[in-house]
Chains A and B, each alone.
Chain A
Amino acid sequence: DAGVTQSPTHLIKTRGQHVTLRCSPISGHKSVSWYQQVLGQGPQFIFQYYEKEERGRGNFPDRFSARQFPNYSSELNVNALLLGDSALYLCASSLESANQPQHFGDGTRLSIL
Chain B
Amino acid sequence: RKEVEQDPGPFNVPEGATVAFNCTYSNSASQSFFWYRQDCRKEPKLLMSVYSSGNEDGRFTAQLNRASQYISLLIRDSKLSDSATYLCVVTRGYQKVTFGIGTKLQVIP
Contact = CB atoms under 8 A, between A and B. Distances in A.
Contacts of A45: 96-99
Give the size range of A's interface with the partner: 20 to 34
Contact of B95 (A40, A42, A57, A101): A57
A104 B94 contact: no
B9 to A, nearest CB: 12
A46 to B, nearest CB: 10
Interface residues of B, number: 22
A56 B94 contact: yes
Contact of B91 (A42, A99, A105): A99
Interface in B31-65: 31-32, 34, 42-46, 49
25 contacts: A33-B97, A35-B99, A40-B101, A41-B102, A42-B87, A42-B100, A42-B101, A42-B102, A43-B44, A43-B87, A43-B99, A45-B97, A56-B95, A56-B96, A57-B95, A58-B97, A90-B44, A99-B91, A100-B32, A101-B46, A102-B46, A104-B43, A104-B45, A105-B43, A106-B42
